[in-house]
Amino acid sequence: MRQKTKLIHGGISGDPHTGAVSVPIYQVSTYKQEGIGGHKGFEYSRTGNPTRHALEELIKDLEEGYAGFAFSSGMAAITAVMMLFNSGDHVILTDDVYGGTYRVMTKVLRRLGIESTFVDTSDLTNVEKHIQPNTKAIYIETPTNPLLKITDIQAASAIAKAHGLLTIVDNTFSTPYWQTPIALGADIVIHSATKYLGGHSDVVAGLVVVNSQELAENLHFIQNSTGGILGPQDSWLLMRGIKTLGVRMEEHEENTRKIVEFLVNHPAVKKVYYPGLETHPNHEIAKKQARGFGGMVSFDVGSGEKADQLLNSVHYFTLAESLGAVESLISLPAKMTHASIPKERREELGITDGLVRISVGLEDVEDLIEDLEQALK
């Protein structure tokens, strides 16, 4: 089955009992048993719910893994995956991971004894240098936010395998439509499904796919024990979003390509960050491991003042955190998502006060370009 067909026919489609074409919302907490233990696969909805199960089967198929799991948010998914580890274990992570991932690792899990080191994984020698006897996993985000840095998933997985470590990939920015990390050697894929998978700024959810029975059993035990599951309504909403992921991602990419071309040629724009640009330092790796470059682009307008002016002058770009929705969003990482990082460290990383990030939506691209043009003036 090809990707766009899988989005529609993957997992469990429809309802065998009624012929309903869409999976019903099983708004139910418990299930009748015909005698003790005599159930039809569902006992209690924390453990398993038919609507959530259909979503979990779908994301498993899309990511080409062994089993899927749906959580109440991306952060609940990430935390559940980290619960696979024990006190005293160590994880190496990409240095510019999502802020919430950095926070849960350093402020919550570190307190519980799970150690973490953050390195620039776009250069894998940094990973090898930091492997310790207690290291258990390499956790990669690629492309990263907001500088769209790329890590070679296949090469990272090879290093992990050689040292007996798990490879975990946060695939939120690319989605399985463009990038399937398990096929490249990763063990676990994580999504904030709040972003492109949902796609309409109307649901908060997290998904995980694992590549083995052992990981599936362990993660199901954690999901059922800690209970951060996705409800049936939101599971259904997410399945509805995923059906159009293909057409949305193609259109996001097409619009982004035109906007990038416009930005690169604009005199007020100092630098453009986009993995689809041949001048991007990891362009070749991005091309090798992903089928598309996505709809996120960052650019530097030279100063915080100019960035503020731009933000205040755009009409179609909504000033907001989050990304991956039908509406175009704009943000200023230095003052929003990355404000907690000290200014010197931010400048070192390239997250200057003049850096603007946009999540390109599905509006008519001519309107988006005209809007940026007048705002840059």
Q: Active-site residues: which are they? A: 46, 98, 170, 195
Taking CB under 6 A as the binding criterion, the range among 14-22, 24-32, 192-200, 209-217 that sits at the site for ligand PLP is 192-200
Taking CB under 6 A as the binding criterion, the range among 58-66, 114-122, 189-197, 254-262 that sits at the site for ligand PLP is 189-197
Taking CB under 6 A as the binding criterion, the range among 15-23, 95-103, 223-231, 362-370 that sits at the site for ligand PLP is 95-103
Residue the block writes with tokens 């890590």: 151
Q: Identify which of residues 50 and 146 has a Cβ nearer to ligand PLP in the complex.
A: 146
DSSP-based three-state secondary structure for 70:
strand
Helix (H) or strand (E) holding 75: helix 74-82
Site string for ligand PLP, 51-90 (x = CB under 6 A): ----------------------xxx---------------
Instruction: Indicate whether 141 belongs to the interface with ligand PLP (CB under 6 A).
Output: yes
The torsion angle over the Cα atoms of residues 295, 299, 304 and 310, rounded to 10 degrees, is -60
Question: Residue 172 and residue 184: Cα distance in Å, rounded?
Answer: 16
Question: Residue 298 and residue 153: Cα distance in Å, rounded?
Answer: 22
Give residue number: closest CB to ligand PLP: 74
Q: Identify which of residues 170 and 187 has a Cβ nearer to ligand PLP in the complex.
A: 170
Taking CB under 6 A as the binding criterion, the range among 35-43, 160-168, 188-196, 240-248 that sits at the site for ligand PLP is 188-196
Picking from 234, 232, 236, the residue whose alpha carbon sits closest to that of residue 27 is 232
The side-by-side arrangement of strands in the sheet containing 90-94 is 67-71, 206-210, 188-192, 166-170, 135-141, 90-94, 115-119
Question: Residue 240 and residue 336: Cα distance in Å, rounded?
Answer: 30
Q: Identify which of residues 199 and 206 has a Cβ nearer to ligand PLP in the complex.
A: 206
What does the block give as tokens for 195? 């972003």
Question: Residue 142 and residue 206: Cα distance in Å, rounded?
Answer: 17
Contact of 289 with 275, CB cutoff 8 Å = no
Taking CB under 6 A as the binding criterion, the range among 10-18, 58-66, 93-101, 234-242 that sits at the site for ligand PLP is 93-101
Q: How far is the CB of 215 from ligand PLP (least distance, A)?
A: 20
Q: Identify which of residues 172 and 331 has a Cβ nearer to ligand PLP in the complex.
A: 172
Percentages (nearest 5) of helix, strand, coil residues in the chain: 40, 15, 45
The one-letter code for the residue type at 116 is S
Question: Residue 170 and residue 190: Cα distance in Å, rounded?
Answer: 5
Interacting residue with ligand PLP among 206, 241, 246, 354 (CB under 6 A): 206
Q: Identify which of residues 330 and 365 has a Cβ nearer to ligand PLP in the complex.
A: 330
Contact of 254 with 94, CB cutoff 8 Å = no
Q: How far is the CB of 192 from ligand PLP (least distance, A)?
A: 3
Instruction: Indicate whether 121 belongs to the interface with ligand PLP (CB under 6 A).
Output: no
Beta bridge partners of 208: 69, 190
Instruction: Indicate whether 100 belongs to the interface with ligand PLP (CB under 6 A).
Output: yes
DSSP-based three-state secondary structure for 207:
strand
147-176 binders of ligand PLP (CB under 6 A) = 170, 172
Q: Identify which of residues 198 and 354 has a Cβ nearer to ligand PLP in the complex.
A: 198
Residues in the site for ligand PLP, rule: CB under 6 A? 73-75, 98, 100-101, 141, 170, 172, 192, 194-195, 204, 206
